[in-house]
Amino acid sequence: MADTTGLAGIGQTLPVLRPAGKYPGVTGPVMVPVGEVTTREPVSGGLAVSDAGVIPLALRGGEMVALEASGIAAAMRAGRLAGT
């Protein structure tokens, strides 16, 4: 997973979100959860992750992870998951 901000820590389980398009009356794109990943160890350009869900995660490209941390507003990670 690309980690452009360096906010993701080792061992975190993060929800994976996929763009679902735009909907009338909603400002901005709508994202839907499609699974979870757990961060493992640093690799060149980011973090290695493993699938943390019960159902295998099928990445199509454009997925993001959501990261919330104490003292930091909820932020959408702009980094793409490896292999997308």
Q: 7 lies in a domain? A: no
Asked whether residue 1 is domain-assigned, the answer is no
Quote the pLDDT of residue 70: 56
Residue 84 lies in a domain: no
Return mean pLDDT, the chain.
Answer: 81
* Cα–Cα distance measured from residue 65 to residue 26, given in angstroms and rounded to the nearest whole number: 20
53-79 per-position pLDDT tens digit: 888 888 888 899 988 765 544 444 444
pLDDT exceeds 50 at position 6:
yes
Q: How confident is the model at residue 81, as a pLDDT? A: 53
- 77 three-state secondary structure: coil
* 7 close to 13: Cβ distance less than 8 angstroms: no
Q: Structural domain tally of the chain?
A: 1
- Does residue 46 form part of some domain? yes
The DSSP annotation for 43-74 comes to: ETTEEEEEE-SSSPP---S--EEEEEETTEEE
Range of the domain at 60: 13-76
In a domain, 39, yes or no: yes
pLDDT at residue number 30: 92
Q: What is the pTM of this model?
A: 0.73
